[in-house]
Amino acid sequence: MPAVAAGTRVFFASNLRDNALLMPHYITQMLFTVTSLRAGSAFVSIYESGSKDGTGAWLHLFEALLTILDVPNKIETGGTERPDGEDRIHHLAHMRNLATKKMRQGPKGELPQWHADRLVFINDVYFCARDTVRLLGHVSADLACSMDFLQWKDPPSTVDVYPYGVDGPPLSVVTDPTQLQFYDVWVARDVEGKPLSNTQPYVHHSYSLDRLRRGLPFPVSCCWNGMLSINAEPFRLGYEFRAGSKGECRESETSVMCKDFLRMGYSDFIVDPGVRLAYHPADARLLYNSKVDVPVTSWAEVAAAPAIDPDFAPRKFRMTCCNMADDGSDDVNFFKCRPLPEVFTRMPAAALAA
Q: pLDDT tens across 104-152, in order?
A: 988 778 889 999 999 999 999 999 999 999 999 999 999 999 999 998 7
Question: Which tops the pLDDT comparison, 291 or 205?
Answer: 205
Cα(321)–Cα(222) distance, integer angstroms? 12
Q: What is the pLDDT of residues 275-304, one digit of tens each?
A: 999 999 999 988 887 767 888 899 999 999
Cα(134)–Cα(125) distance, integer angstroms? 16
Which element (helix H / strand E) includes 147? strand 143-151
CATH of residue 335: 3.90.550.10
Q: What residues make up the domain containing 90?
A: 10-353
In a domain, 3, yes or no: no
**Residue 258 binned pLDDT confidence (cut-offs 50, 70, 90):** very high
Per-residue confidence (pLDDT) for residue 115, from 0 to 100 = 95
Cα(212)–Cα(134) distance, integer angstroms? 16
**Residue 159 binned pLDDT confidence (cut-offs 50, 70, 90):** very low
At residue 330, does pLDDT exceed 90? no
Cα(176)–Cα(163) distance, integer angstroms? 19
Mean pLDDT in residue range 19-38: 97
Overall number of domains in the chain: 1
In a domain, 5, yes or no: no
- Do 127 and 1 touch, CB atoms closer than 8 A? no
Mean pLDDT in residue range 256-265: 97
At residue 348, does pLDDT exceed 70? no
**Residue 198 binned pLDDT confidence (cut-offs 50, 70, 90):** confident
For the chain, helix (H) and strand (E) counts, in that order, are 10, 14
Mean pLDDT in residue range 249-273: 97
**201: preceding bond cis by omega (within 30 degrees):** yes
At residue 158, does pLDDT exceed 50? no
Per-residue confidence (pLDDT) for residue 1, from 0 to 100 = 75
In a domain, 4, yes or no: no
Cα(13)–Cα(33) distance, integer angstroms? 13
Which element (helix H / strand E) includes 338? strand 338-339
Cα(258)–Cα(319) distance, integer angstroms? 10
- Do 58 and 25 touch, CB atoms closer than 8 A? no
- Do 51 and 17 touch, CB atoms closer than 8 A? yes
Cα(100)–Cα(278) distance, integer angstroms? 23
Tell me the residue type at 221.
S
Question: Which of these ranges, 168-182, 196-210, 251-265, has the smallest mean pLDDT?
Answer: 168-182
In a domain, 2, yes or no: no
Cα(30)–Cα(26) distance, integer angstroms? 6
Per-residue confidence (pLDDT) for residue 307, from 0 to 100 = 95
Q: Name the residue among 110, 130, 119, 104 with its Cα closest to residue 9.
A: 119
Q: What is the pLDDT of residues 59-98, one digit of tens each?
A: 999 999 999 999 999 999 999 888 887 889 999 999 999 9
In a domain, 242, yes or no: yes
In a domain, 121, yes or no: yes
In a domain, 206, yes or no: yes
DSSP letters spanning 260-289: HHHHHT---EEEEEEEEEESSHHHHHHHTT
At residue 34, does pLDDT exceed 80? yes
Helix H segments across 78-237?
A: 88-99, 129-136, 206-213, 233-236
Question: Which tops the pLDDT comparison, 305 or 162?
Answer: 305
At residue 340, does pLDDT exceed 50? yes
Question: Which tops the pLDDT comparison, 211 or 170?
Answer: 211
Angstrom CA distances, 224 to 105, 185, 285, 341, 344, stand at 23, 10, 22, 23, 19
Mean pLDDT in residue range 210-230: 97
Tell me the residue type at 16.
L
